[in-house]
């Protein structure tokens, strides 16, 4: 098992700073969805992690904790994630992306 980044939609959708996306060394890994969090009544969307691309460096955690001061990202063992985004389940739109969350083990 290995660690991947997990973003709290509740915290992220309330702040929507997008810094983690800009500081992740991996392309197409921390994505942003305008829809994520809307169903919970949040004004903004949220960032999410394509866990099949995450190399577990935790740079996003440092950026979220120390630059954004949002404390929204934690490293978590991939088998402890009930649902996560995988590259094959991400759809690109005109202005944002959407992801169907599924069990990473099934992916």
Partner 1 sequence: MSLDYVKFSNGFEKFMPKEYRDMVEHGPFGKKVTVSQMGNFKEVLEEHPMCAGCAMTLFIRLAMIAFPNPEDTITVGTAGCGRLAISQAAIPFVYGNYGDQNGVASGLSRGLRLRFGDKPKDVVVMAGDGGTADIGFQQVLHSWFRKERFTTIMLDNEVYGNTGGQESGMTNRGAVLKMAPLGKKFEKMDMLQMAKVAGCAYVATVVPNNPRRVESVIKKAVLIAREVGSTYIQAYTSCNIEYAIPTDKVMEDAKAVENDRYQFTEYVSEEAKQYLTERYGYKEFLAKPAAPAAAIPGKA
Phi, psi at residue 105, to the nearest 5°? -65, -40
**Stretch of 7-15, 52-60, 76-84, 99-107 contacting partner 1, by CB under 8 A:** 52-60
23 binds partner 1 (CB under 8 A): yes
Structure tokens at 86: 């995988």
| Chosen residue from 59, 78, 81, 101 binding partner 1 by CB under 8 A | 59
E strands within the chain? 3-7, 30-33, 46-49, 73-77, 90-92, 97-99
**DSSP code for 84:** B
Name the residue nearer to partner 1 (CB basis): 80 or 91.
Answer: 91
Provide the binding-site residues for partner 1, judged by CB under 8 A: 18, 21-28, 30-32, 47, 53, 55-59, 61-63, 66-67, 87-88, 92-93, 95-97
């Amino acid at each position: 098992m290995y660690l991947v980044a997990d973003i709290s939609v509740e915290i992220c959708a309330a702040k929507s700073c997008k810094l983690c996306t800009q500081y992740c060394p991996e392309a197409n890994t921390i994505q942003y969805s305008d829809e994520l969090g809307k169903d919970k009544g949040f004004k903004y969307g949220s960032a999410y992690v394509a866990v099949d691309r995450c190399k577990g460096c935790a740079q996003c955690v440092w950026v979220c904790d120390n630059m954004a001061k949002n404390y929204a990202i934690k490293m978590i063992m991939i088998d402890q994630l009930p649902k996560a985004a995988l590259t094959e389940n991400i759809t690109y739109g005109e202005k944002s992306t959407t992801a169907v969350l599924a069990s990473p083990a099934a992916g």
